[in-house]
Amino acid sequence: MEMKRVLELHRQMIKDKKIPTELYKHTTISNNLYKTLANAELWFAAPTSFNDPFDCQINDQTNWTDDNIREYVTKTVQTSGEEIDPEDVVRGNQQNPGNFNKFFTSNLKKLLSTQGVACFLPTPENLLLWAHYSDSHKGVCLKFDITKDEDLFALTFAVKYPKDNKYPHFDYLTQRDQLVNKAMLTKSIHWKYEDEIRVLKPNFGNHPFAKECLKEIIFGCHADPNEIRTIRQIVTNAKYPDLKLKQVKLKENEYGIEFIEI
């Protein structure tokens, strides 16, 4: 799909409130964070490296005929450069029905291992996620305005959590263009409390972001003052144009947090 069309769809999703304009990313304070802020780059991980072994699974419902198998393998060879004879795959499946399903699953994993995903949240107020992903409140939460960098956030989607807790069904004959998205944007209902938002890239690694889109760095209530000073110096040197530093403060007499500018 052409980038112009991708951006049109992205803007429509924002207009329809299918994705928020502000995204939040929890992380620990480490050298990786220092590099992220100094270089204005975000790490997009290969989805095969995620901690949930159920992530990126699908339920292949394709009625694979010999011709469909030939077509799929031919396209795979063209993309990957691997030396695979489609006829060998067809014969192998004829001799051992189900063999191709293993080939298809293996190829999907290879494909996913090259993709890039960055994970975000729609709010910084989830108490569980401060504990889980911000190093028990010793880390930070980064706030991004995705309208300030459309190229980076063009492929932004809300994760789906099917109520039946089943892998997403996939049919290559009718949904071939949806394979990667279906795999990367569906998770178990047990993760619903996160309401995760994912940003996709065709390759993993560091991707630059416009400094205008980083709006806040929110420190956990247990963040080390020395690390706060270090980060303040890094972002000052990097000359972020519109960035606020805040810190979590526990509300009195209730299970809640607020954010105080520091």
Nearest to 134 by CA among 204, 224, 238: 224
pLDDT at 41: 98
CB-count burial class (<10 Å; 0-12, 13-18, 19+) for 210:
middle
Rounded distance between C-alpha atoms, residue 208 and residue 151, angstroms: 10
Q: How far is it, in rounded angstroms, from Cα 104 to Cα 100? A: 6
Cβ-based neighbours of 31, under 8 Å, separated by 6 or more:
none
Q: Where are the domains of the chain?
A: 1-46+116-159+195-262, 52-113+164-186
Query: Please, are residues 42 and 168 in contact by the beta-carbon 8 Å criterion?
Result: no
Query: What distance in Å separates the CA atoms of residue 211 and residue 124, rounded to the nearest whole number?
Result: 20
**In the chain, helix, strand, coil percent, each to 5?**
40, 25, 35
Q: Which residues pair with residue 121 across a beta bridge?
A: 24
Q: Rounded to an integer, what distance in angstroms lies between the CA atom of residue 71 and that of residue 83?
A: 15
Report the amino acid identity of residue 71: E
Q: Give pLDDT, residue 3.
A: 86
Name the 3-class secondary structure at 45.
strand
Distance, in Å, from the CA atom of 217 to the CA atom of 247, rounded to the nearest integer, reads: 8
**For position 142, what pLDDT does the model report?**
99
- Sorted by sequence, the CB contacts under 8 Å of residue 115 that are 6+ apart come out as 46, 47, 180, 184, 200, 201, 202, 203, 204
State the residue for tokens 């780059």: 41
**What pLDDT, on the 0 to 100 scale, is given for residue 112?**
86
| Model pLDDT, residue 175 | 83
Token pair 């990097």 in the structure block, residue: 238
Quick one: CA dihedral 179, 181, 183, 188, positive or negative? negative
Residue with tokens 């190829």: 107
Three-class secondary structure of residue 224 per DSSP: coil
C-alpha span between 42 and 28 (Å, rounded): 14
Write out the chain's pLDDT in tens, 262 residues. Answer: 688 899 999 999 999 999 999 999 999 999 999 999 999 999 999 988 888 888 888 888 888 899 999 999 998 888 777 888 999 999 999 998 888 888 888 888 888 888 999 999 999 999 999 999 999 999 999 999 999 999 999 999 999 999 999 998 888 888 877 888 888 999 999 999 999 999 999 999 999 999 999 999 999 999 999 999 999 999 999 999 999 999 999 999 999 999 999 9
